[in-house]
Amino acid sequence: MPDTVSFLVDPLPVGATPEFLEASFREIEPGSGALAVNDLAPHRGDGVFETLAIVDGHVQEVEPHLARLANSAQLCELPEPNLDQWRLVITRAAERVPGQGEFALKLALSRGIDPGTTPTGWVHVTPGADFRAAREEGIRVVTLDRGVARGAGERAPWLLLGAKTLSYAANMAAIREAKRRGADDAVFTSSDGYVLEGPTSSVIARFGDDWVTPPPAAGILHGTTQRSIFAHLHAQGRTVEYRDLTVDDLRRADAAWLVSSVRMAAPIVELDGAPMPVDHAATAQLNAYLLGPRD
């Protein structure tokens, strides 16, 4: 059974006849030539994506990811994705990899061949990296200015700050900058000193019994893993809150994490070179929850 699989998807409009779904995508050899060089994904980073975890055969949080995909597509004025089609592709892709272990499933919807309005799509599944050290021992994080003021996304929707687009070059550069500074990952801050998000993660901080994350209105993605954790904590009777956090607030937290779909909850052990308290019990509990089957 392969541990890496790729599918090329011909995105269908909403309402397409169900019997067309199964023939609307096909498995391709991973690494093979699939996308045209004038597809607007490679050409312009002009498309949207989601990354989902597969844990022991179960694809985590399919519906929240698909809801965010649809929202990202709307913000980018892409055709509304046919979620029945994407559900089926996700199922077929997950069936093709081993039923034990962790995998990352990335799906993408591109604006398509330039010029034109016919989207293209794909799914690519790879084995999950070994994140045990990040989950158990934690990560060192540096804050990096994203250059924008808090709330810029609401004032300037063309910046697409709330959409998960394929234009991630600066996110990747921020992670390289963090590593150059001897850290493992970054937290973006607004130009006015507020905590935003990681380049590929959300920030959650605990202050006593309050669990806090910055609000999406700050100009960040609404994290699917953050939402899943908040729902879990809320069900346990904990206090969860969307609230603006300054970098100083984050420094004073009793514990903080970067959370994301595939790495799950990584406790921040060091922020800009200063140690942060680590809540090992809560971290273990969060990751046990996140690694269990979730819908």
Instruction: Give the interface with a copy of itself as residue ranges (CB under 8 A).
Output: 6, 8, 28, 30-47, 76-77, 106, 108, 110, 113, 122-124, 126, 144-149, 152-153, 155-161, 163, 165-174, 176-177, 191, 219
Identity (one letter) of the amino acid at 50? E
Residue 8's SS3 state is strand
> Looking at beta carbons only, is 42 or 57 nearer to a copy of itself?
42
> Looking at beta carbons only, is 35 or 269 nearer to a copy of itself?
35
| Nearest distance, CB of residue 256 and a copy of itself, angstroms | 21
| Nearest distance, CB of residue 232 and a copy of itself, angstroms | 30
Dist. CA 287–CA 172, nearest whole Å: 25
In 3D, which of 255, 285, 286, 249 has the Cα closest to residue 270?
A: 255
User: Which residues have a Cβ under 8 Å from the Cβ of 7 and sit 6 or more positions away?
Assistant: 25, 26, 27, 28, 89, 92, 93, 122, 123, 124
| Nearest distance, CB of residue 198 and a copy of itself, angstroms | 13
> 34 and 122 in contact (C-beta within 8 Å)?
yes
| Nearest distance, CB of residue 65 and a copy of itself, angstroms | 17
| Nearest distance, CB of residue 115 and a copy of itself, angstroms | 9
> Looking at beta carbons only, is 145 or 295 nearer to a copy of itself?
145
> Looking at beta carbons only, is 13 or 157 nearer to a copy of itself?
157
| Nearest distance, CB of residue 279 and a copy of itself, angstroms | 29
User: Which residues have a Cβ under 8 Å from the Cβ of 41 and sit 6 or more positions away?
Assistant: 35, 47, 108, 110, 111, 120, 166
> Looking at beta carbons only, is 188 or 230 nearer to a copy of itself?
188
> 200 and 176 in contact (C-beta within 8 Å)?
no
> 118 and 38 in contact (C-beta within 8 Å)?
no
> 48 and 55 in contact (C-beta within 8 Å)?
no
Dist. CA 197–CA 189, nearest whole Å: 7
> Looking at beta carbons only, is 57 or 127 nearer to a copy of itself?
127
